[in-house]
Amino acid sequence: MKTESSHPFDLLTPDYMLDAVDAAGFLSDGRLLQLNSFENRVYQVGQEDGSPVIVKFYRPHRWSDEQILEEHAFSLFLADRDLPVVAPIENHGTSLFHCDDFSFAVFRRAGGHAPELANDDHLEQLGRTLARWHTCGSDRPYQTRPTLQIIDDIRTASTFLTNDVVDLNYRGQYRDVTGQILEKVEQQLAEHSFPLLNVHGDCHTGNILWRDERPHFVDLDDSLRAPAMQDIWMLLSGEHDEQQHQLRVLARGYDTFLPFPWSQTVLIDPLRLRRIINYDAWLAKRWDDPAFPPAFPWFESMNYWGNQVTLLQQQLRSLQTPL
């Protein structure tokens, strides 16, 4: 089944994928629909018996089998405790399947829409659900998956971007602002230490499906050990006072099961900066994937880096006034 190709994902022809899914014991009816995903490749595959399934082909060499299986085991652990998580389907005693160099997993199809963050009922329910998740996230600490390192992650990503990626016209300004950010974040976090637990890791509205009056969480691909705030801050939006209100509503739900981690609000701006800088590094490292240049054509423009410098300068100022 293996042939020479310019990029590993080019091997994923329809026949290749359907054969792989059939071999794993999920007999397809030939229907295949690509879904929106860049880090991995995700498809809806029709089944001869029953509803279609969702198949995720993992990006080769990003995670080891042990790391993927540990995330799967945690997803199944949450589902067993009635947490609304779309966990992988097990077949023949495993949830991870292989075809040549590809690892893939199969999930039930789940419908729904994104939660409305302007809806206090949705926010409060999200707070309750995350507290239940975080209770379980303390029970089975990851052994092989990463641990969040805010300062190291910002330093590594910003150094890579400054040296190899940022437009030359803005490289000096980018180096200056990221250096100031690192200095300020190190000062803010120097005397803080927070408990770690297994978090979703990428808990934005695109990974939450609202159905049957509650959220359903999908795609734990970035799940890691981190403070609880890593799952909370991405549910905040708008101006400073709006975010303060959203925090209070989330806390009202969260307090039902766990005390809300108010002391961790000092992490919100550093986590936001980590995400901004890491996102650019991720795009740069994935640029050899043919799916990326057409989807992100602005990434190589000079104007983009000018805008990023301005954004980082604004975020640096926001470090002075944490929520």
Cβ count within 10 A of residue 262: 11
Place of tokens 């981690």: 261
* Rounded Cα distance, 30 and 154, in Å: 44
Cα pseudo-dihedral 86, 19, 103, 31, rounded to 10:
-30
Which of these, 142, 120, 173, lies nearest to 302 by C-alpha position? 173
Contact between residue 124 and residue 250 where contact means Cβ atoms under 8 Å apart: yes
Instruction: Determine the longest span between alpha carbons in the chain, in angstroms.
Output: 59
Which of these, 111, 34, 102, 91, lies nearest to 65 by C-alpha position? 102
DSSP letter string, 267-295: GHHHHHHHHHHHHHHHHHHTTTSTTHHHH
- Residues 6+ away with beta carbon under 8 Å from 163: none
Which of these, 95, 76, 75, lies nearest to 25 by C-alpha position? 95
Active-site positions read 202, 219
Q: Within a 13 Å sphere around the CA of 74, how many CA atoms are in the beta-carbon half? A: 31
DSSP 3-state percent helix, strand, coil across the chain (nearest 5): 50, 15, 35
Host H or E run for residue 215: strand 214-217
What are the φ/ψ torsions at residue 124 (nearest 5 degrees)?
-65, -40
Which of these, 133, 131, 125, 49, lies nearest to 87 by C-alpha position? 133
- Burial readout 203-214 (b: 16 or more C-beta within 10 A, e: otherwise): bebebbbbeeee
